[in-house]
Amino acid sequence: MDYVRLHASLRADSPAVTDLAFNRQWTYGELDHLIAGCTALLQEKGVSEGDRVACLSKNRAEFIMLHLASARLGAIFVPLNWRLSAAELEVIIADCSPSLIYGDDLATELKVEAQDIEQLLPQCEKRNPVWPPQPSVDLPSLMLYTSGTTGKPKGVLLSERNLTETAINFCLLGEVEPGSRFLCESPMFHIIGMVTSVRPPLFLGAQIIISDRFLPERTLERLADKDLQISHYFCVPQMALAMRAVDVFDASSLCGLKAIFTGGAPHPEAQIREWLDDGIPIVDGFGMSEAGTIFGMPLNRNLIDQKVGSVGIPTPRLQSRIADESGRALPDNEAGELQLKGDNVTVGYWNRDSVYADSFTLDGWFKTGDILRRDEDGYFWVVDRKKDMFISGGENVYPVEVEAQLVKFPGLKDLAVIGVPDEKWGEVGCLYYVPKEAGWEIDMAELDSFLTSRLARYKIPKKAVAVESLPRNGVGKLMRHELRKLTVSE
């Protein structure tokens, strides 16, 4: 489903991609030609159907070129998370075994052997472009790594059919038009940065404007820039809050935005209404690596105000239900697991066939593991995230993964990690521990130093509490809900 190729025929001179960090811009005709050159380069390097091509870099236009060139060959593009530690990246690279890795200076810092991404564009321009026959749309073309509840990384496989379905779903919910302009600042190793900020505009022949990272004051300037004319912007609630805290914040300068789209973390109602009072729709939604865009709020400010806190509604292209543990569909306003059917649902987990099979009910519904409820008007509300997981600054953190490293830290007899509320990050990790020696306390600086080489920064606990014992049931299983109650009482 090559929509760049389509729009190269329909609107060759229309702007397709602007890369702000490097002051570069391509029309659809130019982008299609570059992707064809990149396809030739990958072929020359031996890449073929099913091979993996990885990239470790800050946001840049080469992500799009590598992904779409890989897709044209039936290969799989793997954007790597530069927020991980070198040890964590080593595990992922060993798992996906890429034929090629491209990287910027981050690759050097993280000790990943990679080809210089600075040389990719000139190399593509020197090749004779090729347009091979389109592979099956059901072949995976993108792999996004996400940690599982066991703490082991899972490679979520997304086909061109999956990715196109997400594009359609968001176009419908987000009121995307050919004249829309998306500012892509979310990291392109995430579903928001690599898919939701890219595929909807490419689907309709709109424009993608790529930024290397989020800087609150600079982002505000770009959202207000009358030359850029940004219409769609994605962020986590913490980013939206950071923009409002900028000294020069002026909501009236953002009137050109169709909306600010948020997700990935709980969004306080008071913060949503601040934006609404300023005349700016701030639109919460719900999605996941395995299924892309699932729900979204309307862009109508009155409807947002009436349903503040909801993550919205699905499009008719997606089947969703709330079910109990036996798989029975629940009535409105009862909480249960969100389950899905549709062409947006992942085609597999890399090297995890049994895990993938276990992710479906016997009657074919994908089990998200998220607890939601649907109200009488068809709007969905998040009740709880995946069991035990918490979200810090929009990043999923699984306590088991953190605890697996903490057991190596000296002085701990027993330990557990949970997420606790935090004004800046939404949630942060809190370590509850039983010391081996009574009266001993953790030095947080030592803990931070110990974990820095083992875990991404956002996974490292920011708080620690000593306790006499951890709550466990009769068979020794940790009862995290009792720790959460303890947090509330504190």
Tell me, yes or no, whether 316 and 450 share the same domain: no
Tell me, yes or no, whether 121 and 193 share the same domain: yes
Tell me, yes or no, whether 368 and 411 share the same domain: no
Tell me, yes or no, whether 282 and 239 share the same domain: yes
Tell me, yes or no, whether 241 and 332 share the same domain: yes
Average pLDDT over residues 287-292: 94
65-82 per-position pLDDT tens digit:
999 999 999 999 999 999
Tell me, yes or no, whether 182 and 58 share the same domain: yes
Among 384, 419, 448, identify where a domain stops. 384
Average pLDDT over residues 299-313: 95
- How many folded domains does the chain comprise? 2
Tell me, yes or no, whether 376 and 440 share the same domain: no
Q: What pLDDT does 398 receive? A: 77
Burial class (CB in 10 A: 0-12, 13-18, 19+), 468: exposed
Q: Which residues share a beta bridge with 232?
A: 182, 259
Confidence check: pLDDT of 474 > 50:
no
Q: What pLDDT does 7 receive? A: 98
**In CATH, what number is assigned to the domain containing residue 476?**
3.30.300.30
Tell me, yes or no, whether 158 and 18 share the same domain: yes
Tell me, yes or no, whether 379 and 460 share the same domain: no
Going by pLDDT thresholds of 50, 70 and 90, the confidence category of residue 236 is confident
Q: What pLDDT does 473 receive? A: 55
Average pLDDT over residues 204-225: 96
Among 341, 361, 384, identify where a domain stops. 384
Q: What pLDDT does 148 receive? A: 45
Going by pLDDT thresholds of 50, 70 and 90, the confidence category of residue 238 is confident
Q: Domain range spanning residue 426?
A: 390-489
With CA atoms as reference, report the closest residue to 201 among 425, 412, 487, 4.
4
Tell me, yes or no, whether 427 and 413 share the same domain: yes
Confidence check: pLDDT of 151 > 80:
no
Q: What is the mean pLDDT of the chain?
A: 92
| Two tokens, residue 86 | 């070198």
Please state, in angstroms and rounded to a whole number, the distance separating the CA atoms of residues 123 and 132. Answer: 19
**In CATH, what number is assigned to the domain containing residue 355?**
3.40.50.12780
Contacts of 213 (CB under 8 A, 6+ apart): 58, 59, 185
Among 369, 384, 399, identify where a domain stops. 384
Which pTM value belongs to this model? 0.84
Give me the percent of the chain exceeding a pLDDT of 90.
80
Tell me, yes or no, whether 340 and 420 share the same domain: no
Tell me, yes or no, whether 356 and 330 share the same domain: yes
Confidence check: pLDDT of 476 > 90:
no
Confidence check: pLDDT of 368 > 90:
yes
